[in-house]
Amino acid sequence: MKQIISGNIDDNCPTLTAAISEKKCLVFTINGRLLFTVDSGFSGGVALPIELLSKLNIRFIGYENYSLADGTIIQLKEYYGIVEIGKEKVLTTFIEGDFLIGIEFMKSIADKLIVDFRKQKITLLRD
């Protein structure tokens, strides 16, 4: 198993940190200042506030329907862009929203998500 990235559990919420690089790319790193919630209820890739989306080198691809926790269906603009983790670059979708990492993105980078409540750590692993 290879560790892809690790994060913390803050107030019972699994989190990872990221930064925006000089190349206008989202980079997940343990030293990042942007705090993302790992959200198993979010089927998409990465959600970011609009003011940060505008700082990324992303491409608009259309509109996609998303189901909210209360069952409401909303339509959001969707973008493609590159995310860096270590030396890897992954193409994923972005939407406007809170700082969230969704299932689509996690599946594209890892095989397993380990949530260790005792140690207050999360780890994404690949076989």
Beta bridge partners of 26: 20, 83
CA-CA distance, 43 to 24, in Å (whole number)? 24
Q: At residue 68, does pLDDT exceed 90?
A: no
Phi–psi pair at 105, nearest 5 degrees? -70, -45
Indicate whether 79 pLDDT > 90.
Answer: yes
User: pLDDT > 90: what percent of the chain?
Assistant: 87
Mean pLDDT of the region 85-91: 91
Mean pLDDT of 78-99: 94
95 pLDDT above the threshold of 90: yes
Spell out the domain ranges in the chain: 2-126
Q: What is the pLDDT of residue 87?
A: 86
Which pTM does this prediction carry? 0.92
Cα dist from 28 to 11, 72, 91, whole Å: 21, 30, 13
Question: What is residue 9's predicted lDDT score, i.e. its pLDDT?
Answer: 96
CATH class of the domain defined by 2-126: mainly beta
